[in-house]
A = this chain, B = another copy of it.
Amino acid sequence: MRLSELSERSGVSTATIKYYLRERLLPAGARVTATQADYDEGHLRRLRLVRALLQVGRLPVATAREVLAHVDDASLGRTIRLGASLWALPHGPEPDEEAPETATARAEVARLFTELGWTTALELGELSPAHRSLVASLATLVRLGYPCDTAYLAQQARLMRKMAVQDLDALEEYPTEDEQVEAAVASAVLYEPLLASLRRLAQAEESVQRYGIG
């Protein structure tokens, strides 16, 4: 399709599409003549993902470009490709190595993953930004004087694992690995706020069931 059709079908202005092309967030179309290029369904999907990253995830352009570079790297194995793409997304706080609570949190996180049998988390350790953020958030909890309830965290983690099963089942409905990786990145950005809302609504529902509305 021409640029004008890509614009119409995506709802993104041609000026914005040209900007994405210049910033290498969107790959160039197939050259047809000196002034015309041809775009396909892959461009349409990528445009959708770029908007999710920039508008919902509020990623800086350079970060979005880095994420997309991993998404596009088909030389990587599937897990590594997915992992690298997600690791390049913004994540939570970094552990403060000066804080004495960091060591406590680190030990609790290791105990948690051992109890859960999460061998990948144990092996990758703090190479993973999510692992580092978990340590940092837990250290803050301890520093503020809140109890670190590993048993409760383990329960929650087990349900999160069940949610991850559903997440991957949903991804596998996409026909190609390219599309699955794109969808995984989009879902990380789009579903986080959605699940935070669902969590509060689920708590309200449970609270009314237990204590009534009064």
Contacts and interface: CB of A to CB of B under 8 A. Distances in A.
Secondary structure dominating the interface of A: helix
A145 B195 CA distance: 19
A62 interface: no
A111 to B, nearest CB: 14
A198 to B, nearest CB: 5
Interface string A168-196: 10100000000000001010101011111
A118 interface: yes
Interface stretch (A14-22, A64-72, A136-144): A136-144
Given A77-B214, A190-B137, A201-B130, A195 B52 contact: no
5 contacts: A121-B201, A152-B166, A156-B195, A159-B163, A160-B198
Interface of A: 10-11, 44, 48, 51-52, 55-56, 77-80, 82-83, 86, 91-93, 118-121, 124, 128, 130-131, 133-134, 137-138, 140-141, 143-146, 149, 152-153, 155-157, 159-168, 170, 184, 186, 188, 190, 192-214
Given A51-B144, A79-B208, A164-B205, 20 more contacts: A10-B145, A11-B143, A52-B144, A56-B144, A79-B213, A83-B207, A91-B197, A93-B193, A133-B197, A134-B194, A141-B190, A146-B186, A149-B170, A155-B166, A159-B163, A160-B202, A168-B203, A168-B206, A168-B210, A188-B200
